[in-house]
Structure 1
Amino acid sequence: MNLRFEGRACYIRNLTVDDAEEMVHLLLRNREYWSIYEPRHPDSYFTPMVQREKIRESVYQARENREYSFGVFEPGTDRMIGHISLYSIKRLPFLSALVGYSIDKASTGKGIATEAVKLVLTFGFEQLRLHRIEAYVSPRNAGSIRVLEKSGMQQEGLLREFLYINGEWEDHYQYALLEREF
């Protein structure tokens, strides 16, 4: 299944095993930058072999309608500048999912993350017919909070000591958007 959604600042498409090398380059470029808000990974994570396996798993998850992983690309190029996923997809009685994303440090502040989130929200609500899409964000991550709010998501609360990141339990805000609000 080939999924591709076009925006003005970026386009997103589902990942294939051919994207593993480009994914490794993206991960290595942002290893320190992303580790501020995400758990650190072992060195083996930053290899084509591991990334190919992760992509294979995401292809399987998409076939099972449980998760969709996309690369975020510069318009008119094959240059990957981020990744975004719609994951933990639940069917009735929930009809919900989570969205998570990371954008290359060199591409932040250009509306790319906001557009990628809006493209995934459109896919989730219009094609997957979800009722609710959620996101979690560190209170320290002002840029990501702006992305979620510009995408129409609303803060619903604070999840205390929610994620264990780099040796610390960290609080996270919970954001959500309902189908009728979309």
Structure 2
Amino acid sequence: MKLRFEGRICYIRTLAVEDADEIVQLLLRNREYWAIYEPRHPDSYFTAMVQREKIRESIYQSRENREYSFGIFEVATNKMIGHISIYGIKRLPFLSALVGYSIDESATGKGIATEAVGLVLTFGFEELRLHRIEAYVSPRNAGSVRVLEKSRFQREGLLKEFLYINGEWEDHYQYALLEREF
């Protein structure tokens, strides 16, 4: 199922196997930048073969209504400048999911992440009929904290030693947005 949602400065669309080479270029450009807040990946992760497999898995997950992975593209250039997913989708009694995203370092600070999050929230609340969408963010990641707060997420707490990143257990904030607040 191909999904596409348009914004003013970016659009998001579900990934296709043909996107693997472009994803690899995005990953390589941001390998060090994204590793600040995300676990490091083995060299094999940065290959078209592995990325094609990840896309195939995301297509399967979307058919099962468990996860939707999107590329983020600049409207002006159609260049892939990030990715965003709504994942861990749970049906009743929860009706919840998580959102996660990464933006090309060269495209940060332009409102792109905020717009992409808004597009995914609209999909999650209006199409998937979710009640609650959550996000986890490193307290050190001020840019992502701003994105979530501009998107009306509320900070609910601090998850102590939540993720193992680059040899350290790191705390993360838990944010959530409820359907009625959207």
For the aligned pair, the TM-score class normalised by the smaller chain equals over 0.9
Q: Please list every run of 5 or more consecutive structure 1 residues that lacks an aligned counterpart in the other structure.
A: none
Q: Where do 1:21-40 residues align within 5 Å?
A: 21-40=21-40
How far did 1:2 drift?
1.2
Partner of 1:148 in structure 2? Answer: 148
How far did 1:9 drift?
1.5
How far did 1:133 drift?
0.1
Give TM-score, length-normalised by structure 2. Answer: 0.99
- Distance, in Å, in 2 between the alignment partners of 1:62 and 1:35 is 27
Give TM-score, length-normalised by structure 1. Answer: 0.99
Cα-Cα RMSD: 0.5
Letter in 1 for 2:27: L
Q: Secondary structure at the match of 1:106?
A: helix
How far did 1:78 drift?
2.9
- Distance, in Å, in 1 between the alignment partners of 2:116 and 2:47 is 25
Partner of 2:116 in structure 1? Answer: 116
What's the CA shift string for 1:39-88, capped at 9, x where partnerless?
00000000000000000000000000000000000104331000000000
Q: Secondary structure at the match of 1:20?
A: helix
What's the CA shift string for 1:95-116, capped at 9, x where partnerless?
0000000000000000000000
Partner of 1:43 in structure 2? Answer: 43
Q: Where do 1:61-140 residues align within 5 Å?
A: 61-140=61-140
Letter in 2 for 1:28: L
Percent sequence identity over aligned pairs: 84
User: Matched residue pairs, number?
Assistant: 182
- Does 1:13 find its partner at 2:33? no
Letter in 1 for 2:46: F
- Distance, in Å, in 2 between the alignment partners of 1:128 and 1:77 is 29
Letter in 2 for 1:44: S
Q: Secondary structure at the match of 1:65?
A: coil
Q: Secondary structure at the match of 1:118?
A: helix
- Distance, in Å, in 1 between the alignment partners of 2:34 and 2:50 is 18
List structure 1 runs of 4+ shifted beyond 2 angstroms.
none
Q: Secondary structure at the match of 1:66?
A: coil
Instruction: Say whether the 8 Å CA contact 2:9–2:76 is kept in structure 1.
Output: no
What's the CA shift string for 1:97-151, capped at 9, x where partnerless?
0000000000000000000000000000000000000000000000000000001
Q: Secondary structure at the match of 1:78?
A: coil
- Distance, in Å, in 2 between the alignment partners of 1:11 and 1:152 is 20
Partner of 1:166 in structure 2? Answer: 166
- Distance, in Å, in 2 between the alignment partners of 1:71 and 1:8 is 16
Q: Please list every run of 5 or more consecutive structure 2 residues that lacks an aligned counterpart in the other structure.
A: none
